């Protein structure tokens, strides 16, 4: 009969009317995010980075800018460059994660936030100071060691540089085992030589 299809449609809409809505009240509630979410704020560990710039070479857009200078101390196993500039331009980044995939030392991770908006484009460039001082909650994307440890960046426990690597490289293993390697870690101020345990 004419109109029965219409009546069925009305019943479906009424059923959905009675059900609770599907949306969440942002910003009071948030949708659950998986630990593998590729977010905006990058997590970078100065202690692990050697300045090899694989990430900058592998980035399809060329938005990572790295300027290094040779280190002052003698060439030791595990010595690396001083990193003066390490800028990531979020304004043009597409968060593909190829830089994270390229990093051989597990120094660069994706973040898991998405609320890093600014009013001016130049503020969208993440500078090296911001990367050093940020609270480090890395996303587990392309990092099987973090996944196996079942780390969840949403819980808010920041990770230190010793806990995030795949530990294939000898200097980190030696440092963790207690050997003291003199390395200059440029902390944005006077150069200081620190002992790392």
Partner 1 sequence: MPIRTEPVTINIGPQHPSTHGVLRLRVTFDGEVIVDVEPIFGYLHRGSEKLAEERNYVQVLTLTDRLDYVASMTNNQAYCLAVEKLMGVEVPERAQYLRVMTAELQRMASHLVAAGFLLQDLGALATPLMYCFRFREKILDLFEMLCGARITVSYMRPGGVFADAPEDFWPALDRLMGEAPELLGELEQLLMENEIVLVRTKNVGVLPLDMAIAYSISGPVLRASGLPWDWRKADPYDVYDRMQFDIPIGDRGDNYDRFRVRIEEVKQSMRIVSQCVEQMPPGPIRTKLPLVLRPPAGAEAYGRVEAPKGELGFYMVSDGSIAPYRCKIRSPSLINLTVLKELLVGWKLADMIVTLGSIDINMGEVDR
Partner 2 sequence: MVPFLQDNVIYRGVYCWLGGNEGNAQWCGRDGLLPGGYEWVAYFVAGLTIMLILVNGALLGAAVFVWAERRLLARFQARRGPNRWGPWGILQPIADLVKLLIKEDIIPTAADRIAFTLVPIIMLMSLLLSLAVLPFARNTYLANLNIGVLYIVAVSSMTTIAIFMAGWASANKFAMFGAMRGVAMLISYEIPLILSLVGVVLIAGSMSLVSVVEAQYLPFILVQPLGALVFMLGITAELNRTPFDILEAESEIVAGYHTEYSGIKFALIQAAEMAGVLAASGFLATLFLGGWSGPFLSTQLGALWFLMKLSFFVFLFIWIRATFPRLRIDQIMAFAWKFLLPLAMINFLATAVQVYFFGFYHGDVPGEITRNEQWVMAAINVPLAVASIAAFGHFAREGIRVPAVRLESIVPTPRVAEVD
3-state SS class at 5 = helix
Candidate residues 2, 25, 74, 115; the one interacting with partner 1 per rule CB under 8 A: 2
Site for partner 1 in 98-137 (CB under 8 A): 98, 101-102, 110
The yes or no reply on residue 4 touching partner 1 (CB under 8 A) is yes
Nearer to partner 1, 32 or 189 (CB): 32
**33 contact choice in partner 2, partner 1, none (CB below 5 to 8 Å, kind-dependent):** partner 1
The yes or no reply on residue 52 touching partner 1 (CB under 8 A) is no
Nearer to partner 2, 7 or 177 (CB): 7
Which of 151, 170, 71, 66 has its CA nearest to residue 108? 66
3-state SS class at 2 = coil
**95 contact choice in partner 1, partner 2, none (CB below 5 to 8 Å, kind-dependent):** partner 1
The distance of Cα 160 from the centroid of its chain, to the nearest Å, equals 13
158-173 in b/e burial notation, b at 16+ Cβ within 10 A?
Answer: ebebeebbeeebebbe
The yes or no reply on residue 24 touching partner 1 (CB under 8 A) is no
65-101 in b/e burial notation, b at 16+ Cβ within 10 A?
Answer: ebebeebeeeeeebbbbbbeebbbbbeebebebebbe
Smallest gap from residue 30 Cβ to partner 2 (A): 16
For partner 1, the binding residues (CB under 8 A) are 2-6, 8-9, 11-13, 15-16, 22, 33-38, 58, 60, 94-98, 101-102, 110, 139, 141-142, 144, 147
């Amino acid at each position: 009969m004419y109109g029965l299809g219409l009546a069925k449609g009305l019943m479906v809409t009424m059923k959905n009317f009675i059900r609770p809505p599907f949306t969440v009240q942002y910003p009071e509630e948030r949708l659950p995010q998986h630990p593998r979410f590729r977010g905006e704020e990058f997590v970078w560990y100065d202690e692990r980075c050697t300045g090899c710039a694989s990430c900058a070479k592998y980035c399809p857009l060329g938005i990572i800018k790295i300027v290094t200078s040779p280190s002052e101390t003698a060439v030791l196993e595990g010595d690396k460059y001083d990193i003066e500039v390490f800028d990531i331009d979020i304004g043009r980044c597409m968060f593909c994660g190829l830089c994270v995939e390229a990093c051989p030392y597990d120094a660069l991770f994706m973040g898991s936030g998405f609320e890093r908006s600014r009013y001016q484009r130049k503020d969208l460039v993440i500078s090296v100071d911001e990367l050093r001082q940020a609270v480090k909650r890395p996303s587990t994307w392309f990092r099987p060691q973090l996944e196996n440890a079942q780390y969840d960046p949403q819980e808010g426990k920041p990770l230190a540089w010793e806990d995030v690597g795949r530990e294939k490289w000898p200097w980190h293993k030696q440092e963790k085992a207690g050997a003291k390697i003199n390395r200059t870690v440029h902390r944005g101020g006077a150069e200081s030589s620190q002992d790392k345990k």
